[in-house]
C-alpha cells in the first residue's frame, strides 16, 4: 500500500506539468493506467481544453498594421483622431502629422501638410522655395513638395515618406519616432537651402 501511495504522489506532481499531447496519450490507453491516475488526467485535460464556467472561448486576434500604429501612438502619448478619409491624424512635438495605411500592405505613408507657407505674391521667395526644394529632395530622405492654394494665394509646403513597418522590426516605437524626427531635419535643411539662396542674392547682407 505504501508503494502504491508513493506512485500516486509522483503522478500528482507530474500530471500538472503535462501538456495536452501527453494527457491525450494516457487517455488513449486507459487500460495501462490505474483509475485514480486516469481521473486526475481527465480533470487536468478538461481544465486546459475546456473553458471554465463563465469563461468564453475566443480565438486570438492578430494585430493589424493599423492597430499596431494606434497602439504605438498611445505608447508615445500622442493623441489621435481620423480625418474624413479615415487617415490617422496625430500631433507630435506640436506639429500635425498624418499616417496613411494602404490595403494589405506592410508600408505606412507619413505626411505633414502645410508646415511652411509662402505668399505667392512674393515672387523671389517662391523662386527660392522651388529651387531649395529641388536641392533638399536630391540629398534628403524625406520627400518635400508643395501645393498651391489659390483661395488664399499661398504655397503650402508638405513633407512625406513611405516606410516599411512590419512586426519583425525591433522597437517599432523608436523607429516611428526616428522617422518623425527626420521631418524636423528636413525642415531645417530646407530653411538652410533657402537661406543660402537668399545670401547669394544679397551678398552685402551677409554677417561677417
Predicted local confidence at residue 207, as pLDDT? 47
pLDDT at res. 52: 58
Q: Can you read off the three cell numbers belonging to residue 204?
A: 552685402
Note whether 92 and 35 are same-domain residues.
no
| pLDDT attached to residue 208 | 45
Does 186 score more than 80 pLDDT?
A: yes
Examine residue 58 and state whether it is found in any structural domain, yes or no: no
Task: Find out whether 27 and 45 touch, Cβ atoms under 8 Å.
Answer: yes
Order the strands of the 107-119 sheet from edge to edge: 80-82, 88-92, 95-101, 107-119, 154-164, 143-149
Query: Looking at the predicted structure, is the pLDDT value of residue 20 above 90?
Result: no
Give yes or no: residues 95 and 171 share one domain. Answer: yes
pLDDT band at 106 (very low <50, low <70, confident <90, very high): confident
Residue 153 DSSP one-character state: T
Structural domain boundaries enclosing 128: 65-205
CA distance 29 to 24: 9
Tell whether 142 and 191 lie within a shared domain. Answer: yes
- Average pLDDT of the residues of the chain: 85
When pLDDT is cut at 50, 70 and 90, the band that residue 14 belongs to is: confident
Distance CA 58, CA 165 (A): 28
Q: Which residue has the higher pLDDT, 10 or 67?
A: 67
- 43 and 74 both lie in a single domain: no
Q: Is residue 105 part of a domain?
A: yes
Confidence of residue 97 (pLDDT cuts 50, 70, 90): very high
Q: What DSSP letter does each residue of 73-102 carry, written as one string?
A: HHHTT--EEE-TTS-EEEEETTEEEEEEE-
Amino acid at each position: 500500500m505504501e508503494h502504491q501511495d508513493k506512485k500516486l504522489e509522483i503522478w500528482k506532481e507530474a500530471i500538472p506539468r503535462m501538456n495536452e499531447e501527453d494527457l491525450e496519450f494516457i487517455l488513449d490507453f486507459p487500460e495501462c493506467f490505474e483509475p485514480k491516475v486516469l481521473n486526475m488526467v481527465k480533470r487536468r485535460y478538461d481544465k486546459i481544453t475546456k473553458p471554465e464556467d463563465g469563461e468564453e472561448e475566443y480565438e486570438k486576434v492578430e494585430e493589424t498594421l493599423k492597430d499596431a500604429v494606434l497602439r504605438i501612438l498611445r505608447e508615445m502619448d500622442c493623441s489621435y483622431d481620423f480625418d474624413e478619409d479615415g487617415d490617422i491624424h496625430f500631433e507630435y512635438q506640436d506639429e500635425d502629422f498624418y499616417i496613411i495605411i494602404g490595403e494589405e500592405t506592410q508600408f505606412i505613408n507619413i505626411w505633414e501638410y502645410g508646415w511652411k507657407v509662402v505668399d505667392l505674391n512674393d515672387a523671389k521667395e517662391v523662386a527660392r522655395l522651388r529651387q531649395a526644394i529641388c536641392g533638399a529632395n536630391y540629398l534628403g530622405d524625406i520627400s518635400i513638395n508643395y501645393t498651391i492654394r489659390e483661395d488664399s494665394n499661398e504655397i503650402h509646403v508638405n513633407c512625406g515618406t513611405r516606410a516599411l513597418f512590419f512586426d519583425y522590426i525591433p522597437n517599432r516605437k523608436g523607429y516611428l519616432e526616428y522617422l518623425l524626427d527626420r521631418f524636423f531635419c528636413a525642415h531645417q535643411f530646407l530653411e538652410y537651402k533657402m537661406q543660402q539662396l537668399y545670401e547669394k542674392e544679397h551678398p552685402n547682407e551677409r554677417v561677417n
